[in-house]
Homo-oligomer: A and B are copies of this chain.
Amino acid sequence: MKIKQGDYVLLYLDKRRRYLVKVDSKKEFHTHKGIIRLGDLEGKNYGDSIKTHLGINFRILKPLPLDFVRNFRRGTQVIYPKDAAIMIIISGIGPGSRVVEAGTGTGALTALLAHFVKPTGVVFSYDVSRKNLENAKKNLKMSGLDKWVVLKLGDVTQEIEEKEIDAVFLDIPDPWLAVENSYNALRHGGVFVSFSPTINQVEKTVETLETRGFIDCSTFEVMLRTYKVRPGKTRPETFMVGHTGYITFARKP
C-alpha cells in the first residue's frame, strides 16, 4: 500500500528522534539531522527509508495508535498508556461497545477507546471545556479515529444522556458526583472505571459507589518500571514515574 498525500507517517531515527508527520507536497520538515521534503514521502512504502538533505536515513513507519497519542497536542495532561491499558481491559469493552467518557481532555483515552470499539461501537466523550473539545477534535481527526467518537460539551456530574452503556470512564476531579448518572447510563453488568490522582478522591468515590449499589468494587494502581538492557550491564532506569493515579473499578448489578 503506497503512501499518499495526507497520510500520517512516523519518521524514525532512534528512540528519541521519532516524528509523526503528514505527507504534504508543499511542506518541509526540519530536524537536527537535516531537512526532509514531506512530498517525497508520497509513493513510498512503509518500511522504506528517506534521506534528509544531510544524507541521514530515517525509517518510514506506519504509526500505531500510541504513536498518535504521543503526538497529540496537549491542552491538559495525557493519561499514561499503562493506565489506559488496564482500564480498557478490565472494562470488558471491545469491538461494538458503547462507551461514555469524561473528561475528554486532549482525547488520548478517547482515541484508544475508539480504536478498540470500532468498527461498530461508539464513544460519547464529555468535557466541560469547549477549548479541550476543539483540541481533542483535531487530535482525533489526525489519528483517523474521529468517526467513532461523539464529542459532547457537558458535565457528567449534571447529566449523562445515553442509556444502555457498556462502560463509563471517568477522569474528572469529582468522580463521586457522577456515580448516580453513571449508574443510570450503564446497562446491567456495565462497568464503571475511574482514574484519580489522590487517595481522597478514591475514598469518596468508593464510598459513593457502594452506597449506590455498585458491586465488585476494587481499587489499584499500576507502576511501570523500564529497564536499560545491555548484555552484562542490565538494570532498571534510575528515574521512573512514581505515581499517576489510582484506578477504581465497579459493576452495576
A227 with B220: CB separation less than 8 A: yes
A89 with B112: CB separation less than 8 A: yes
The answer to whether residues A237 and B242 also contact, given A82-B86, A118-B95, A216-B15 and a CB cut-off of 8 A, is: yes
A234 interface residue per 8 A CB criterion: yes
Residue of B whose beta carbon sits closest to that of A89? B85
Q: How many copies of this chain sit in the oligomeric assembly?
A: 4
**Dominant secondary structure at the A interface:** mixed
Contacts of A251 on B, CB cut-off 8 Å? 61
A66 with B92: CB separation less than 8 A: yes
Contacts of A46 on B, CB cut-off 8 Å? 187-189
A2 to B: closest C-beta gap in Å: 13
A26 to B: closest C-beta gap in Å: 26
A130 to B: closest C-beta gap in Å: 27
Residue of B whose beta carbon sits closest to that of A59? B253
Q: Which positions in A face B, CB cutoff 8 Å?
A: 12, 14-15, 18, 45-47, 59, 61-62, 64-66, 81-82, 84-86, 88-92, 94-96, 112, 115-116, 118-120, 187-189, 191, 197-200, 202-203, 206-207, 215-227, 229, 231-244, 246, 248, 251-253
New A-B contacts (13) at CB < 8 Å, excluding given A223-B223, A237-B243: A12-B216, A61-B189, A65-B89, A66-B90, A85-B88, A85-B90, A95-B95, A219-B226, A221-B227, A223-B224, A239-B240, A240-B241, A240-B242
